Amino acid sequence: RQPSISQIDVIVIGGGQSGLAMGYFLRRTGLQFVILDEQNQPGGAWQHGWNSLRLFSPADASSLPGWPMPRPAATTAGFPDRNWVIDYLTQYESKYQLPIVRPVCVERITYDGQVYLVQTASGDYQARAVVNATGSWSQPYIPDYPERSAYTGLQLHSAQYRKPRPLAGLRTLIVGGGNSGAQILAEVSQLTQTRWVTEQEPTFLPDDVYGRILFQRATERYHQGTTGVPARSLGDIVMVPSVQDARSRGILTSVRPFVRMTPTGVVWTDGREEPFDAVIWCTGFRPATGYLQPLGILEASGKVRTQETQVQGMPGLWMVGYGSWTGFASATLIGVGRTARTTADQISRFLAPNEPLST
């Protein structure tokens, strides 16, 4: 069967929190739009976090535009778990009747100088404006350590990690100095022997700086500095209770990277070999943008050149929610609204002189 081509004003790719924030503001423009999401269920990346993952911020500092996140029960000290976030995003979609189509995976995009052709296995779409909001969870990044392919032990990326129990008794190396590394180290170290590798000495926030205060301080520093996100702020390690507990057990010390891997472990810079049964890579993600390849704009990192959220040299193409390169704190629930609003305004102005494709 020949797939049909649907014509519409705006296509948003990705139905996580960023796609939803775009939907909220696009609804108010009167433009016709659709949100395409490859998942079967609402919730974006939150569906794939580890079981104990909790927000750094209380509910009232973790809201998308329009509708504040309800507060969870007092037993959670007000810090929502990932199921709470998924439930919130699910209700948000229906509250604003967002036009989300699932599961639809965008495979490639082409551009003829006026209109984008967005190709999926279940039919193609044409639009003058496209917003990419695909996040990064589906693109785990692992650094290219020499002889990694020779290692025969268990390897997991934080994207695949769910709970510590399967690692009980396995000597485990945890690589990565961000919040995922610290949090996973904290719980795995309760069940087995661990070692933590970070490129530099990790930066820990004071115990009382998390949640709303973290976001406020980062915002203040951002406005004072004005040029980009402060290098140290939202990415520093937040001393959530499990990480404080790891510190009190003397676990929270890290060593600098090894020089290569062996079939059974790693070799440190002093030539000493150490065996490990498992390695957990908490080494981050890359933007999930492979489908933009035909446009010839992708850098090796998966990023593209942007002016705020607008892709340079590609009229009608925007990137929302990927982190500091697409707007201050744009990869957070509370932060994405700001860039979604300005993006929807820009789209409105961009399409205004034209007759909408859909009429």
Is 44 a binding residue for ligand FAD by CB under 6 A? The answer is: yes
Task: Give residues 173-202 in contact with ligand FAD (rule: CB under 6 A).
Answer: 179-180
Q: Residues 24, 56, 258, 276: which binds ligand FAD (CB under 6 A)?
A: 56
Is 161 a binding residue for ligand FAD by CB under 6 A? The answer is: no
- Specify whether the CB–CB gap between 108 and 295 falls below 8 A: no
Is 61 a binding residue for ligand FAD by CB under 6 A? The answer is: no
Alpha helices in the chain (DSSP H): 17-27, 82-95, 179-188, 212-225, 241-248, 336-351
Q: Residues 12, 34, 35, 45: which binds ligand FAD (CB under 6 A)?
A: 45
Is 331 a binding residue for ligand FAD by CB under 6 A? The answer is: yes
Decide whether 38 or 277 has the Cβ nearer to ligand FAD.
38
Count, residues near ligand FAD per rule CB under 6 A:
34
Q: Residues 11, 14, 118, 314: which binds ligand FAD (CB under 6 A)?
A: 14
Q: Residues 251, 333, 340, 347: which binds ligand FAD (CB under 6 A)?
A: 333
> Which range touches ligand FAD (CB under 6 A), out of 130-138, 248-256, 258-266, 350-358?
130-138
Nearest residue to 106 via CA among 129, 128, 123:
123
Output the smallest distance, CB 316 to ligand FAD, in A: 18
d(Cα 175, Cα 158) in Å, to the nearest integer?
10
d(Cα 137, Cα 331) in Å, to the nearest integer?
11
d(Cα 330, Cα 51) in Å, to the nearest integer?
24
Q: Residues 15, 177, 287, 327: which binds ligand FAD (CB under 6 A)?
A: 15
Output the smallest distance, CB 307 to ligand FAD, in A: 19
Nearest residue to 178 via CA among 205, 145, 215:
205
Nearest residue to 350 via CA among 8, 9, 6, 5:
9
Is 288 a binding residue for ligand FAD by CB under 6 A? The answer is: yes
> What is the DSSP annotation of 170-233?
S-EEEE--SHHHHHHHHHHTTTS-EEEE-SSPPPBPPTT--THHHHHHHHHHHHHH-SS--SSS
Positions touching ligand FAD (CB under 6 A) are: 13-19, 36-39, 44-46, 55-57, 62, 105-106, 133-135, 137-138, 179-180, 288, 291, 321, 331-334
